[in-house]
Structure 1
Amino acid sequence: MSRKVAVILSGCGVFDGSEIHESSAVLVHLSRAGVQYTVFAPNIEQMHVVDHVTGQPMTEKRWVLKESARIARGKITDLKDLKVSEYDALIIPGGFGVAKNLSSWAVQGKDCSVLKAVEETVKSFHASNKPIGLCCISPVLAAKLIPGCEVTVGCDTECEKWPHAGTAAAIKQLGCKHVNKQVNEVHVDTKNKLVTTCAFMSNSPLHEVYDGIGAMVKALLEIA
């Protein structure tokens, strides 16, 4: 029987939603592996809308569920209807929507809150001993919700290739272990069944990010 994976998106677009390339890579690798997947998103208003040409906030309002439907080609389900018992694993791609819509990490860092529906879902998958795949910034959700877990967001030393390395320090401050990995590598926390990869936390070519996410999906399915 084909395995089933739930995928949670946080909007559409790197600066205010799910990172589109990461999300697409997740779905492509799941499809190639013959996995059935369902895309979910919370039916909430975005923290704000960003003009992706200028990088500046706009005055209009958008909704996470409707924006996520753009990536899901219209096949989207409200997160409140996700039944953990029906799925073998969970994946949450990155993008600033994770830090702005699924949580308040973008403004509060390690002191953030996590959207209740996301918190309940992550904790339920974890309690059910079902694997969770996280890439880019989304490993911070595990660091916030699963005490003492192990994740990677890439490298903990800031440089041109690793402009977001400060995130690793915040993860450590939460009492979790950060493991340095390259963009094409994953870290597997076998105790907590977490599979993480850095994706666009690194200034790396798109194909390397794609390959790293493929490694994440492969490792996730091996323990699902």
Structure 2
Amino acid sequence: MKKVAVILSGCGYLDGAEIRESVLALLALDIEGIEYSIFAPDMQQHHVVNHITGEPDPSASRNVLQEAGRIARGEISPITELKAEQFDGLVIPGGFGVAKNLSTFAFKGAEGEVDPVVVAVLTDFKTSHKPIGAICISPALLALAFGDLQPTLTIGSHAGTAAEIEKTGAVHQVCETNDCVIDTTNRLVTTPAYMDDHANLKDIFQGITKLVKGMVALSK
């Protein structure tokens, strides 16, 4: 595995990409000597949340691509330019942006839909037999997109979210924060990260590191 695409859903865990998960994923890739390119949809966020109060700010509006550019230090491209043929794998950090901007899972659960452009990207990697790593709530995207294939996924131990994921046809496996679940048949690797609000950074990094190593093993 030489190069991986990373999809971000904004900047900030309540309305975009989870910043810590995003940075730790990039670090884990770097440690493995894997080059990466970062992408995000050029679209408006579902809403903007004040990360101190936790409340939406109806007067604010932000663009997912521009916000994700904060994490990417400006080195980012629209997701419409992402071609699976140019990469060996795909990583999607979590954050509520995944469930609000990349899909409607936050509002409709198992009845939700994934953004058509995101679905196309996921399908391209899947049909190319290239591994996909999904962190935190991002496995919900895989459940919505590939539930009919009964993939084995994890979002940790959150019973309500796990139940919604299983309604899609996916199989949920309970997993500790510092570990990951590898579906060798479907070439999917998932790890819980901040699905546990009280998780510590060390365990999250261990889980993400195992996810990256799992992707490397699947690509051989």
- Normalised by the length of structure 2, the TM-score is 0.96
Per-residue deviation, 1:175: 1.2
Per-residue deviation, 1:165: 2.8
Per-residue deviation, 1:211: 1.2
- For 2:174, give the aligned amino acid: N
Whole-angstrom CA distance in 2 between matches of 1:172 and 1:43: 30
The SS at the match of 1:57 is coil
Provide the residue aligned with 2:38 in structure 1: 39
- For 1:127, give the aligned amino acid: T
The SS at the match of 1:144 is helix
Whole-angstrom CA distance in 2 between matches of 1:98 and 1:47: 11
Structure 2 residues not aligned, in runs of 5+: none
Structure 1 residues not aligned, in runs of 5+: 156-163
Q: Percent identity?
A: 46
1:20-31 matches, within 5 Å, as 20-31=19-30
Whole-angstrom CA distance in 2 between matches of 1:16 and 1:90: 22
- For 2:90, give the aligned amino acid: L
The SS at the match of 2:94 is coil
- Normalised by the length of structure 1, the TM-score is 0.94
Measured on the aligned residues, the alpha-carbon RMSD in Å equals: 0.9
Whole-angstrom CA distance in 1 between matches of 2:214 and 2:168: 25
Per-residue deviation, 1:61: 0.5
Per-residue deviation, 1:16: 0.2
Aligned residues: 215
Structure 1 runs (4+) greater than 3 angstroms displaced: none
Whole-angstrom CA distance in 1 between matches of 2:170 and 2:109: 14
The SS at the match of 1:50 is coil
Q: Can you list the C-alpha shifts for 1:18-75, whole angstroms capped at 9, x where unaligned? A: 0000000000011111111000000000000000010011121000000000000110
The SS at the match of 1:49 is coil
Whole-angstrom CA distance in 2 between matches of 1:6 and 1:110: 26
Whole-angstrom CA distance in 2 between matches of 1:176 and 1:104: 17
Provide the residue aligned with 2:153 in structure 1: 151
Provide the residue aligned with 1:101 in structure 2: 101
Provide the residue aligned with 2:164 in structure 1: 170
Whole-angstrom CA distance in 2 between matches of 1:56 and 1:119: 29
The alignment status of 1:187 with 2:181, answered yes or no, reads yes
Q: Can you list the C-alpha shifts for 1:106-152, whole angstroms capped at 9, x where unaligned? A: 11111111111110000110011000000100001111111211101
Whole-angstrom CA distance in 2 between matches of 1:176 and 1:142: 9
